[in-house]
Structure 1
Amino acid sequence: MGPGGTGRRSGARPGAAVAGHQPGDHLDRDRGRLAGVHRRVPGAAGAVHRPAAGRARRVPASRRRVRPHVAGGGLARRGHGLPRSRRTHRGDRADQGRHRGVHKHRPAPQTRRPPSRVLRLRRTHLQRSELMLRTPGLLALFTAKLLSTFGSWLTLLALPWFVLVTTGSPVKMSLVLTAEFAGVVIVGLSSGKLVARLGTRRTMLIGDAARAPLMASIPLLHLADGLNLPILLAVSFGLGAFTTPYVSSQRLILPELLGPVRGTDEKLVGRANSLIDAATRIAALAGPALGGVLIALLGPAEILWIDAGTYFVSFLIVLAFVRPPANAPATRFTDHPPRGDGVRNVLSDPPLRLFGVALVLVTLTVPAIFLCLPVLVLHELGGNPRTLGLLTAANGAGLALGSLAAVTTLSRMGTNALTAAAILLCAPLWLLLIERPIVIALGLFLTGLATPVLAATLITRFTLRTPPEHRPHVMAAVTTTENLAAFIGSVTAGPALQFAGSRPVFATIAVLASAGAATFVLGLRVTPNVSFAST
């Protein structure tokens, strides 16, 4: 043993105190070794030599060996136990600074930046696409709704124009639409039992299979010169009779298509309702725009063949593709409810009661608007059917864009945003008092922009705030009430147009829509979050 050296006793543990040194001396030795003062000599186990006075030899970092069990912690190099080529020596430099009393500055952790607007829109689009792709029946239902509604918009434009041009009477024109709404109201009172017994999918198949030949009978009788007003009223009544159970089933099948778990999520059901409404709004854009041109080229009666064909294609799509998941239990409906069960459920819930009043007030104005437009175009705006098509298409464009907004933003819209949508629904209707095509088109566009948001909100609240076993009867009551309001609006609009003119009727429409929007906002303020399971 050389002078100044220390020895290890035979059998002594590594790291144990030896003669002539205190237990804490090895810490001083390690600090010195990190600073390059000590040097270990190979071949002399445990021997540490202190060099002579002079400049201390610095040991390269790659040759330093620091024992991980040394007291003080944190002295082991990062990557200890790895090959030297893969080790990093940042830990050594940090430890040197800490033992010398120098604290390395570490920057504060960076806060996560919120996603940009483009990224949020992209995520929303992916969520919407995922909902469609993961629910194949929903995609098929969307397609069927798009086709049949496209044909219905052609009929809504062609049939009143046909009656008005051939008879010259706004009253007879309104009678044709009134007959359809009468069928909706009368059959709608018992349609809940029909849906409960047959099921949603079978009811939709029967509705499409019946309406296709009924619609085809109008142009067929016109070709045979056998069409008169009583037959036209009877056919319109039959079309309305199959409409109420079909529309109710179309809404009730959505929770079944989404499955037992997703079908109880208000945001997902609301998004699914928005997708179905989007089919209606997109068709509302294309149908009137093409309808005005087709009426001018082919005539109004021939347009009805297209509507009959869309009902037939819709039947095939529902038959082949619209099927609830096999693992989803069927919703148990009550097919023998007490009399007036659906109406009683709505009236017993204060928010649904307010939403029902808002729905009635707004629905009163819809048929009145579409009855006013042909009269306005024929007597005030030159009598060109293309002008009628462009005005109706302006409303359809607003409906299409509003449906896109409803699908992408409805799940994030709070009470204030829905209130703004209600104001946007009613305020532009006052522009209809100005008899200029561009101003009327702007008012119809803005009103259509807000309609899908409010419609999807109402349907979702009526669906999820009702126990599953009562939903067919509640939806039948809602559809019947809605169509009863449309029936009253169509009955009163025709005589009012003939005796008072379009301006007083448009003013009444704006007042009723404003009252409905105010009631809708009041219902939002008192709505607690209540949702029922789908099974």
Structure 2
Amino acid sequence: MAPMLAPLRERNYRLWAAADLVSTGGTWMQVLGLNWVVLSVTGSAATMGFTVMAQALPVLLLGGWGGALADRLPARPLLIACQVIRALLALALVFDTGRLWPIYLVAVLSGVISAVEGPSLGRFGSALVSREALGSALALGSVLSSAGRIGGMALGGVLVGLTGPAPLFVINAASYLAVIGALAIMRPGSMRTLAEAPASDRGVRAGLRYVLGQPVVLIVLAMSFVLGSLGRNYQVTMAAMTAGPLHGGPGAYGVLSTVFAVGAVAGGLLLAGTGRATLPALVGAGLVISVLQLFSGLAPNVLGFAALILPIAAGAVILDTIVSTRVQLDTREDMRGRVLAALGMTSSLSGIVGAPLVGWLCDTEGPRGALVLAGVVTTAAAAAGGIALIRVTGRRTQPVAAALGRTLIEQPA
């Protein structure tokens, strides 16, 4: 377990991790509250997917400029400003939760903030630990974020039934104070200095040219897009399955969200414990979660659905962490912000395309049909991505399951 604990030796990382735990809990309380507001007002999973799209679109349109700013500007003042704005947006939701347009407006403005904040967060986080500890730091961050999600969803599931969604938005606003406090007391002298590009190579176009010249990164991003759009929109499908064929309510949705978060913690612990984020593990995780998603559409009840959600969440965290690790370790530091912006734009595009599409499939084919159909497509995409990576890297085909098992079980010497 030494690789997992290595990042915690850094005081700045400990502060950052604790703040992220608190803030993530607040964020997922707000997500739960918003999902049930939209679903209760409209009764449509597609409308809930549109809310996700409204938040993702600004990141897609503005992400390139956000990445360029991340590679130029000091991160701490920029991140503090972003947290203040996010807190104000959360408070704005308290005053009107009965109509949709304030929710859409906050979603769009949150997306604008994310376009600037996302690349800066990634670049700043990578400066808190050594390059060798980056993979474990990202995996440990996933564990802590998932733990925050467990707490947030569990508490939110209770509160939304007792008090309505408004207190969830207030708690989320307050949680941003933890991030602001952590940023304020960090020691700049203990941070790693990242390489910076020359003035002539700091623009959006330079970053785009660089990313387009990295075939492995492009394949990884393509896999992330397909699996993210059709295989990761569980905000939509869990709510649709709970309210539809599983015949549950807000409590059941909260339970399923908590189970998903527990699985995410397990996946993060497995990957952080090994410190190995490899391409075979990426392909293996993609195949596993895709096949399980297909079967989740056939689950007879909430318990059966939860049993499949658990390993899906573990594999999803492994996949996401490996994607984030590889696009950072396999690219230049002076392009870090713009590479992370490309990853953020890919995630946003998957939300823009996937959330409304999955919501529409839930409304037309039913939640079960949507999960089965999406599982078939993502399984094919994961297999195609594995073949493409083998061709690009020149590696011989090896059993993916065995490679995934070694990545998750073996401890480094």
How does the TM-score come out when normalised to structure 2?
0.87
Higher alpha-carbon Rg: 1
- Alignment map for 1:372-451 (pairs within 5 Å): 372-411=237-276, 419-434=283-298, 435-451=300-316
Q: 1:528 to 1:187 in 2, by over 3 A?
A: same
Q: C-alpha separation between the residues in 2 aligned to 1:490 and 1:414? A: 28
Shift of 1:158: 1.5
Equivalent of 1:210, from 71, 75, 85? 85
Alignment match, 2:124: 253
Q: C-alpha separation between the residues in 1 aligned to 2:314 and 2:393? A: 24
Q: C-alpha separation between the residues in 1 aligned to 2:267 and 2:341? A: 26
SS at match of 1:190: helix
Q: Which amino acid is the alignment partner of residue 251 of structure 1?
A: G
Shift of 1:168: 2.5
- Kept in 2, the 8 Å contact 1:355–1:519? The answer is no
Equivalent of 1:219, from 74, 94, 105? 94
- Kept in 1, the 8 Å contact 2:230–2:358? The answer is no
Q: C-alpha separation between the residues in 2 aligned to 1:292 and 1:327? A: 38
- Kept in 2, the 8 Å contact 1:205–1:318? The answer is yes
Shift of 1:330: 4.9
Q: C-alpha separation between the residues in 2 aligned to 1:486 and 1:296? A: 28
Q: Which amino acid is the alignment partner of residue 468 of structure 1?
A: E
1:510 and 2:381 correspond: no
Q: C-alpha separation between the residues in 2 aligned to 1:516 and 1:290? A: 36
- Kept in 2, the 8 Å contact 1:422–1:520? The answer is no
Alignment match, 1:237: 108
- Alignment map for 1:114-513 (pairs within 5 Å): 124-125=1-2, 127-133=3-9, 135-222=10-97, 228-258=99-129, 262-263=130-131, 265=132, 268-321=133-186, 323-326=187-190, 328-333=192-197, 337-365=202-230, 368-411=233-276, 419-434=283-298, 435-513=300-378
Q: C-alpha separation between the residues in 2 aligned to 1:230 and 1:418? A: 39
Q: C-alpha separation between the residues in 2 aligned to 1:459 and 1:252? A: 12
Shift of 1:358: 0.7
Q: C-alpha separation between the residues in 2 aligned to 1:212 and 1:327? A: 27
Query: Could you tell which deviates more after superposition, 197-206 or 396-405?
Result: 197-206
Higher relative contact order (CA 8 A, sep 6+): 2
* Cα offsets for 1:254-280 (capped at 9, x unmatched): 33222xxx32x3xx2111111222222
SS at match of 2:189: coil
Q: Which amino acid is the alignment partner of residue 256 of structure 1?
A: A
- Kept in 2, the 8 Å contact 1:285–1:399? The answer is no
- Alignment map for 1:101-112 (pairs within 5 Å): none
Q: Which amino acid is the alignment partner of residue 182 of structure 1?
A: L
- Kept in 2, the 8 Å contact 1:422–1:450? The answer is yes
Q: 1:372 to 1:425 in 2, by over 3 A?
A: closer
- Kept in 2, the 8 Å contact 1:158–1:300? The answer is yes
How does the TM-score come out when normalised to structure 1?
0.68
Q: C-alpha separation between the residues in 2 aligned to 1:364 and 1:371? A: 11
Alignment match, 2:404: none
- Structure 1: which 5+ residue stretches go unaligned? 1-123, 530-535
- Kept in 2, the 8 Å contact 1:277–1:403? The answer is yes
- Kept in 2, the 8 Å contact 1:357–1:519? The answer is no
Q: Which amino acid is the alignment partner of residue 245 of structure 1?
A: V
Q: Which amino acid is the alignment partner of residue 490 of structure 1?
A: A
Q: Which amino acid is the alignment partner of residue 235 of structure 1?
A: V
Q: 1:301 to 1:522 in 2, by over 3 A?
A: farther
Q: C-alpha separation between the residues in 1 aligned to 2:275 and 2:309? A: 22
Shift of 1:302: 2.5
Shift of 1:397: 0.9
- Kept in 2, the 8 Å contact 1:257–1:324? The answer is no
- Structure 2: which 5+ residue stretches go unaligned? 396-413
Shift of 1:367: 5.5
- Kept in 2, the 8 Å contact 1:410–1:453? The answer is no
Alignment match, 1:39: none
Shift of 1:448: 1.0
The count of aligned residue pairs is 392
- Kept in 2, the 8 Å contact 1:368–1:509? The answer is no
Shift of 1:464: 1.9
Q: Which amino acid is the alignment partner of residue 195 of structure 2?
A: T
Q: C-alpha separation between the residues in 1 aligned to 2:136 and 2:154? A: 27
Q: C-alpha separation between the residues in 1 aligned to 2:5 and 2:282? A: 24
- Kept in 2, the 8 Å contact 1:333–1:472? The answer is no
Q: 1:426 to 1:497 in 2, by over 3 A?
A: closer
Identity %: 23
Please state which structure has a larger fraction of its residues in helix: 2
Q: 1:151 to 1:509 in 2, by over 3 A?
A: farther
Shift of 1:426: 2.0
Query: Could you tell which deviates more after superposition, 302-311 or 327-336?
Result: 327-336
SS at match of 1:240: helix
Q: C-alpha separation between the residues in 1 aligned to 2:145 and 2:357? A: 26
Q: 1:384 to 1:428 in 2, by over 3 A?
A: same
Q: Which amino acid is the alignment partner of residue 111 of structure 2?
A: G
Q: Which amino acid is the alignment partner of residue 268 of structure 2?
A: S
Shift of 1:306: 1.3
Q: 1:327 to 1:288 in 2, by over 3 A?
A: closer
Equivalent of 2:386, from 496, 521, 524? 521
Q: Which amino acid is the alignment partner of residue 438 of structure 1?
A: L
* Cα offsets for 1:366-402 (capped at 9, x unmatched): 5633212222222323342111111111111110111
SS at match of 2:275: helix
Q: 1:351 to 1:214 in 2, by over 3 A?
A: same
